[in-house]
Amino acid sequence: MRRPQVGAAFIAVVLLAGLLGLRTPQEISEDQELTEIHLTGWNCIKRLGGSGRSPETVERNTLKNRWAVDLSSLAVKSFDTAGFLKHVADFDAETKGKRRKDLTPDEKRRLEILEAPIVSLTGYLVLAYAGPPETCNCSSIEFHDWHLEIFEEPVDHPPQPGDPTPVICEITPRTQNAIYMDGIRIQELATFFRRPDVTYESTGHKAQKVRLTGYLLWDDEHNDVKDVGTTIHSIARNRYHNPWRATAWEIHPVIKIERLDETTPHPDSRRSARFRRGDGSKSIWADEFAHSRRDCAHLCYHPACGENQGRIR
């Protein structure tokens, strides 16, 4: 086939996929578990707006890339999934189908208030998967978010029509190391893990009840009827199901996860892991650090500490 014909065929496939509501294939990380990651060589580390171009994308990305803070002095409001959805219900009803650029001045003020606090959500982690390349992470495959689907009740099967939809929570590259050092392993907490080819693998565990703490975020890119709904209606030929979330609101970034069903720490957590500062000074135990913005930098890097800090050995 000649090049013009190949190009025309590709365009036809893309257009057909769009008409059918299918997502076009993209390369997704094969990662299946949280690990220690080296952030100092990442070209996106000082770009909180990521590779976004429009003002609303940069705004959204900057919120997604907020750093962890010391939680010890904060009064964190806690929700179960029903309470979480009630908290954002009025805003959802008034902004159905809207994007940030479509909001009125009053809606923008309300959004700013809603997105400011750190909150906690308690529920069951049923499904987890590595996120796709996104502009918030400068479209990196290696440095990606982790999507965690939180349900009011545990579910013992992969998503199917008739199932309730979850609240989405996301770990980011900037918060991953601190969560990993707390002994959190998503394969131990979730019932299912989704592979890049949209097949589901059982972890061999029942869904664990967890408390996730982080920032509220309105992910308006997913604020339409094909994404948001109370119940799954269908599964497309590409295996993605719709709707797939209960609201466009998320906890993103997640900065702390607590396991509520079981208190036994992972054998590789905290005391078993050692860190060495990037300047070559001697190793130190991770749990000697408080979770302040400065100290967490040694776990997950913060630009204020300089290029050589936070390197994991």
Per-residue pLDDT tens listing for the chain (313 residues): 444 454 454 444 444 444 444 444 579 999 999 999 999 989 999 999 999 999 999 999 999 999 999 999 999 999 999 999 999 999 999 999 999 999 999 999 999 999 999 999 999 999 999 999 999 999 999 999 999 999 999 999 999 999 999 999 999 999 999 999 999 999 999 999 999 999 999 999 999 999 999 999 999 999 999 999 999 999 999 999 999 999 999 999 999 999 997 644 444 443 333 333 333 333 322 333 333 333 333 333 343 333 333 333 2
Q: Which CATH number belongs to the domain containing residue 229 in this structure? A: 2.40.50.140
Tokens of 91: 């805003």
Distances (CA, A) of 285 to 35, 268, 303, 307: 17, 13, 22, 21
The CA distance from 64 to 47, in Å, is 12
Domain match, 94 and 220 both: yes
Domain match, 61 and 209 both: yes
Domain match, 151 and 291 both: no
Domain match, 193 and 307 both: no
Domain match, 121 and 213 both: yes
Domain match, 146 and 293 both: no
Q: Is residue 191 part of a domain?
A: yes
Q: Is residue 34 part of a domain?
A: no
Q: Is residue 71 part of a domain?
A: yes
Predicted confidence at residue 25, as pLDDT, reads 58
Closest-CA residue to 52 (of 100, 88, 115): 100
Domain match, 45 and 179 both: yes
Q: Is residue 22 part of a domain?
A: no
Predicted confidence at residue 274, as pLDDT, reads 34
The CA distance from 34 to 258, in Å, is 15
Q: Where in the sequence is the domain holding 219, given as residue range(s)?
A: 40-261
Secondary structure in 3-state letters for the chain: CCHHHHHHHHHHHHHHHHHHCCCCCCCCCCCCCCCCCCCCCCCCCCCCCCCCCCHHHHHHHHHHCCCCCCCCCCCCEEEEHHHHHHHHHHHHHHCCCCCHHHCCHHHHHHHHHHHCCEEEEEEEEEEEEECCCCHHHCCCCCCCCEEEEEECCCCCCCCCCCCECCEEEEECHHHHHHHHHCCCCHHHHCCEEECCCCCEEECCCCCEEEEEEEEEEECHHHCCCCCECCECCEECCCCCEECCECCCEEEEEEEEEEECCCCCCCCCCHHHCEECCCCCCCCEEHHHCCCCHHHHHHHHCCHHHCCCCCCCC
Q: Is residue 193 part of a domain?
A: yes
Domain match, 256 and 280 both: no
Q: Is residue 164 part of a domain?
A: yes
Instruction: At 94, give phi and psi (nearest 5°).
Output: -85, -15
Q: Is residue 15 part of a domain?
A: no
Domain match, 51 and 126 both: yes
Domain match, 128 and 149 both: yes
Predicted TM-score (pTM) of this structure: 0.79
Domain match, 122 and 196 both: yes
Predicted confidence at residue 262, as pLDDT, reads 63
Domain match, 252 and 279 both: no
Structural domain tally of the chain? Answer: 2
Closest-CA residue to 153 (of 81, 211, 89, 78): 81
Contact 115, 109 (CB under 8 A): no
The CA distance from 191 to 158, in Å, is 9
